[in-house]
Structure formats: C-alpha cells, structure tokens
Structure 1
Amino acid sequence: AACQRAQQSGRALSGRVSRSSPRGHLADPGSAKGKEKPLNGQVLMVLSMENNCSATSFDMELCAEKLKSFGVQVAADQWRRLIQDAVLKPEVRRYMFYNSRAFQIAIAVVFYMSLWTNIYSTVQLCSFGRYWEASVLVTLAAVVVTVVVILVMDRRQRKINMNTDVRLAAVNEIFIKHGLILGITDALDGPHNILQLWFVHFSPERCLQSLSAHITDMQRTRESGLRHSLDQLCVVMEAVVQPDPGREEEASCEESPLLPSGVNLNKEPVTCNELLHLVPEGPPEVMAQQLLVIFSGCYVRLLVTGQLPRATAGGHLEHSSVPCLCQFIEITALNTHQSWFVGR
C-alpha cells in the first residue's frame, strides 16, 4: 500500500456540527481562502450525516464536485465504493454508534445509577448505613468510580481503532497521492449522533523521508524492538480451510456414505482465524508508506477533535504546536519516547 505524511496548521479545528439532511451535509472551512494554497493539516471540507437506522449516506455528488474544485482528479466510482465499504456498511455504522459519545454518556449514566444503588443497598446492611453521612460517602464513591470509567473510555478513544481508522486506509492510500487524508468522527447535535468525514490537506514528502530514516536506524540498532512494535499492528482474518484433494479422494474410496446418495447435505466451509500483519517486512520506504496510510485516519480523528498532544520540538508543522504524522507514529506505534511531546 502506498502512503505518505501529514502535518497541520495552527488553526483552531472544532467539531462544529450542522443538522444533516437525509443525504448529508457538506461544510467547507477552507472556502474563504479561495485559491490560496492550503496549509498542511488544514480542513478542506467535512461531510456530515446522521447515524440512524435509515439508509442515509454522505452527499457523494457534492463531495465529487468539491474535490474537482480542489484539483483532485480521482475516479469517483473508486473512492465512493471504498468509503461505502469502510464506514457506510450497516454493521460498521452499528459499531460506530455503540462506540459513539452519545452511547458512552448513556452507559456512564446507567453505570452510575446501578453502582450507587448496589453500594447503597450493601451499606444499608451495616449499622452505620442508616446515617445521612453514609449516603454522601456512597455518592462520592459512585462518582469517583464512574469518572475513572469515563477516563478509561476516553483514553481508549485516543488510540488507533482497527474497526474504523484502519478501514479508511484503502481510501487514504488513494487520496494521499493527491494531498488529502481522511478521518471519521462522531459528534452530538442535540439528541442526534452525527458522523463526520473530514478531508484534510496533507503533503507527505518530508514525513515519509523522516519516518523512513527512523525505521532504517531502528533496523540497525533495535531490530527486535521494531519487529515487536510492528507485530502489534495486526488484524484477525477469517480464512476458509481448503481440504487436501489427495486425502479427500482417499477418504471417499475407503468410506461408504451412511446416507443415501440422493440426500444433499449443505456443509458449511471450515474456517480458521489468521493473523494478518498490516506492516510486513520490507524496505524502510515501503514500511513507512504503509504506516502513514494506516495511521492517517487515526491522526485526522485526533487532530480535528483536539486530542493530539502538544509538541515541544518542531517537526514538520511550522504553524502548529501539535506533532506531525511521522512524530505521532514514532511515539504511538514504534514506542519511541522522544522529548518533543508534553502532557495536555
């Protein structure tokens, strides 16, 4: 897979949401700049749609027109199908809903009420449980535990999501050649859960060179550590087990059927799970390209939601204090603890 590198401007990127029509909504944050060359990390447009049970979709026609106005010449049928397969399948949309902010808020409320009820019922069995101080302690304990659960879920949201971010890798492999990377987020608009597909300007050359040099250095000095880090980037694939033709023919000769030949048995194929490594061994440039493609969706998601850490040392983002894509990959995927990151 081909890929490249990302950066970002120092513009404030907020997750503003508009109520989407049944076909979706398109925002164009960069339209005011006219024909000026966009900065790395600048949001060019945002497609929005409501994530509900209806068969709504992003407004692909309007998206295609805007891409042409940006000078992006990509066959529409190709990227439409990839976006459809990546994020618009019913099972993927259900997964995104169950991992959305709205659903997590609902889970947190239910968890708090259930926890408070259970702790309070248990405390009532003790002698001091009938005093009002016990209710205060129960409330404090339930709040503390709920906050911890919320923080754990929030921390998990900052990591790469194999079910959404990685699914956009095929789309980003195409668009990155034209200076764009895509990411998807969800936001709340009142009681509605809105999916947003972000198109961010991305020039990959310097990040690709830097990441290739970093991988080359790790192959010389810490090859086992590099391999261990890359082995964590894998997905489970279901593969059909193909029977051995020779053994199958031998078994058919030695064994007679227990049922009459007229009976047709609908046998399901035998399957097994296999681990597919997303970044196999290869030249440093190829591995760097693959890493940039895989992490671009996660990078855009954290970029537009303001969840990237601040960078104390300059990378390839002259106009921002957040790390560029190669720095982000080095610290998250390659476990390279550099001094350019500080806590938020």
Structure 2
Amino acid sequence: MADCDGESPVIEPSLVRQNQPQTESRYLNGQCVWTIRSGSIINPGFDLAQCRSQLELNGFQIPESDLEAPLKTALDVPSVKRYIVFNSSMFHFLMAPVLYLVLWCAVFSSLHSYLTVTDYWVLCLCVSLVSIFLTTAIIFTLHHSNKEINMNLDVRLIAVNERLVKHKLLVAVADWVENCTSNLQLYFVYWDVSRCLRALTESLDEGNYEAQNIQKKLQKSMSYLVLVGEAPQTPSDTGTSHTDTQEDDVEQGADEHRPLLQNEEQERSTSSGQRGAAHQLTTNYSLVPDPALPAQARAQQLLMAYSALYIKLLVSERLSGPSHYRMRPKRNHCTTACICLCQYIRTKVVR
C-alpha cells in the first residue's frame, strides 16, 4: 500500500520548531501528507484535533472551519459509522467463511432433498465446489463495487474536499485487511488541482456538437448520483394547510357548545401537525454539471465529485492503468500513480 509521511517515526514537536517547518512546496501531487487510523473497528472515529496539529507541523495552516467541522459533519454520524463498519474490508473478510457455511448448508439440503446419492463424498464435493464459486462471486462483486463512487461516503466528502482543495489537500477514507487486522484510515494527500482543472476545462470546452456528446456521456455515467434533501417551503406550498386550518376553525365555532371541546381542539391541532409533516417537500439534487455553466465551473464540479474516490483508489493502489513510467499517458499530473485525477475522470466518466 501507499507509504505516508504519517506512518514515519514521530518527531518531537520541539525539534521540529527548532528547524525549518515542512512546507507544502516540498510535496508532489499524490504524496500522502498524513494518515490517521480509526481508533475502533466497531465504532470508527478519527482524532481530528491531532490531524490538524500534525498538518500544521507539515506546513499546512488549516483553520478548524475548513477541517474539523466539515469532517465531523461528514463522518461523525451514527448512520455513516454503521455503514463504514458493514461496508469495510474487515467485515467482508469475516463474512466470507460465514457466507460459505450458509451457502454450503443451503445447497446441501436442497440437493439432498431432490437427489438420491449413495456416495455422500461426491455430493459433499459438489456442494463444496458450488459454495466456493458462489462465495467467490459475491465477494468479488462487493470488492468491485468499492471501486465505484460511494454515495454514503465518497459523496459526503465532497464538501470537505471543496474546503481543503484551497490548501492543496484532498481527503479520503480507505481500508483493507492486512495480517488479519483492519486498516481503516483517513488519508490527507497533497494535490494541486490547478493543472488538472486546466486540462479538464480544455476537454470540456469543445464545439457545440462535441459538447452535446460530452453532456450525454455525463448524464449516462452520473445519472444515479442524486442527493435527496429538504426543499424550502413557500407560502404557496402551505396554502392548502391554511385553508384546512380555516375550515377547522369554522367547525370549531359551530360545535363550541360540545362538552369535550378542549379535547377535540387538541386532537385537531395534533392532526394538523401531522398533515404539516406529511406535506414536507423534498427535492433531488443531481451531481451532473449543468451544461449552462462555463466549462471551468463544470470541470471544478467533476474534480470535486470524484476527488474522494480517486484518492481512495490511489492510496490503496487500485488505480487501473499502465504500471511502467514510460507507458504512462501524457500530461499526467500525478507522480505516484499511472493516471491523475483529470485523466481518471476522462477515462471513467467522460469516456
């Protein structure tokens, strides 16, 4: 896996202050500046205060509003933590033998009910082969899905990278199993996005016909990237509820002499609140760049949308492409990988 400066022996802060502090100019695109491991497998979390102090020692002066606050919003959520646990490589590693046993029992009971076999070792051998094949297929599918953009994790880190890119850093969460132990880590990778932005802008800034083809390809590749959020309600949206309230008032006035008037009013107010919650509007936000925007703005959106996924594949060495340096594509802006961020987007998204 990728080596990081954070994994080197810890240097005393006093010694660092005596010498010249490390500056970001010494880094190249794709170099890992700092990494921190999750404190627990069951309840994943990261010491963000330590991250900021270590990044300061490495020459990155990042305010809390650009680092800790957005990372807490993105990762420090119970539902996100549960997703990280159940989608981690360690969970898949532990799930493989359990899945094999379940499949073996299911296949054996099914075949034993419909087939009459005298030699049970032949039946057991066939069941074992089928179970191994099914288990391998399921694990391979889960492993392949980790190479695609993750709506529950990678997309949540878009807002974080939009802030950190100003400091020439990109962040991602990556994990793998090594020596039967989980390595769930938060990576901070140096990345100057200016050259990738310029190259991707040139690719998107084509003629009208070519621009339409690129937009169709983006729609096809990113159509499933849709976020659901609450829409702000306007007075026109609540007009129906106002009418219902007025009708309720009229009914209350007609029945004002009933003995249980107070209880009925409480029931009506409760039902009115339920109707208001039921009428709460939601809207879908697509990550596909608007074709009306300038080419540079669309390129910026694409770079941020796939930044966390690219960094995750980079640090875990799962980027596909030519391995030899001389065979690397031209205009590669990354010195530690076969392709850079803009080339990955052109290859995987724009095609």
Shorter-chain TM-score: which interval? Answer: 0.7 to 0.9
Aligned residue for 1:40? Answer: 29
Unmatched segments (≥5 aa) in structure 1: 1-11, 17-25, 337-344
Q: Which residue of structure 2 lines up, in the alignment, with residue 206 of structure 1?
A: 195
Matched residue, 1:20: none
The TM-score normalised by the length of structure 2 is 0.78
Q: 1:204 to 1:194 in 2, by over 3 A?
A: same
**1:173 aligns to what?**
162
Tell me if the contact between 1:30 and 1:44 (Cα under 8 Å) persists in the aligned partners: no
Deviates more, 1:41-50 or 1:31-40: 31-40
Q: CA deviation at 1:93?
A: 0.9
Choose the corresponding residue for 1:244, options 203, 216, 237: 237
Matching of residue 135 in structure 1 with residue 124 in structure 2: yes
What CA distance in whole angstroms lies between the structure 1 residues aligned with 2:78 and 2:144? 26
RMSD: 3.1
Which shifted more, 258-267 or 116-125?
258-267
Deviations 1:232-255 (A, max 9, x none): 432223447667344333333344
1:40 deviates by 1.1
The amino acid across from 1:322 in the alignment is C
Larger radius of gyration: 2
Return the letter of the residue paired with 2:137.
V
CA distance in 2, matches of 1:169, 1:315: 25
Q: Counterpart of 1:70?
A: 58
Partners in 1 of 2:36 and 2:189 — Cα distance?
A: 12
Contact 1:28 1:45 in 2 (8 A): no
SS in 2 for 1:287: helix
The whole-number CA distance in structure 2 between the counterparts of 1:314 and 1:209 is: 15
**Corresponding residue to 1:146 among 126, 131, 135:** 135
Deviation by residue 1:60-98 (Cα, 9 ceiling, x = unmatched)? 333222222333222124421111111122221111001
Q: Cα deviations across residues 189-218 of structure 1 (Å, max 9, x unaligned)?
A: 767645311011101111111111112237
What whole-Å deviation, never above 9, does each CA across 1:281-333 have from its counterpart, x for those lacking one? 11110111111112111111111111110244233246345210011112222
Alpha-carbon separation, structure 2, partners of 1:212 and 1:53: 42
Call closer, same or farther: CA 1:213–1:99 in 2, change over 3 Å.
same
Matched, 1:322 2:326: no
- The equivalent position to 1:89 in structure 2, one of 74, 77, 100, is 77
2:115 equivalent to 1:123 = no
Match of 2:217 among 225, 231, 234: 225
- Tell me which protein shows more strand as a share of its residues: 1
Q: Identity across aligned pairs (percent)? A: 27
Aligned equivalents of 2:63, 2:49: Cα separation in 1: 12
For residues 145 and 298 of structure 2, the distance between their equivalents in structure 1, rounded to whole angstroms, comes to: 25
Which residue does the alignment assign to 1:342? none
Task: Count residues in correspondence.
Answer: 314
- Structure 1 distance, partners of 2:218, 2:49, is 43
Measured after TM superposition, the shift of residue 14 of structure 1 is 5.3
Cα deviation, residue 111, structure 1: 1.6
Once the two structures are TM-superposed, the CA of residue 188 in structure 1 deviates from its matched residue by 4.1
Q: Distance in 2 between matches of 1:53 and 1:149?
A: 23
- In the superposition, relative to structure 1, how do residues 51 and 333 fare at CA in structure 2: closer, same or farther (>3 Å)? farther
User: Paired residue for 1:21?
Assistant: none
Paired residue for 2:259? Answer: none
The answer to which of 79-88 and 217-226 deviates more is: 217-226
CA contact (8 A) 1:30 1:45 kept: no
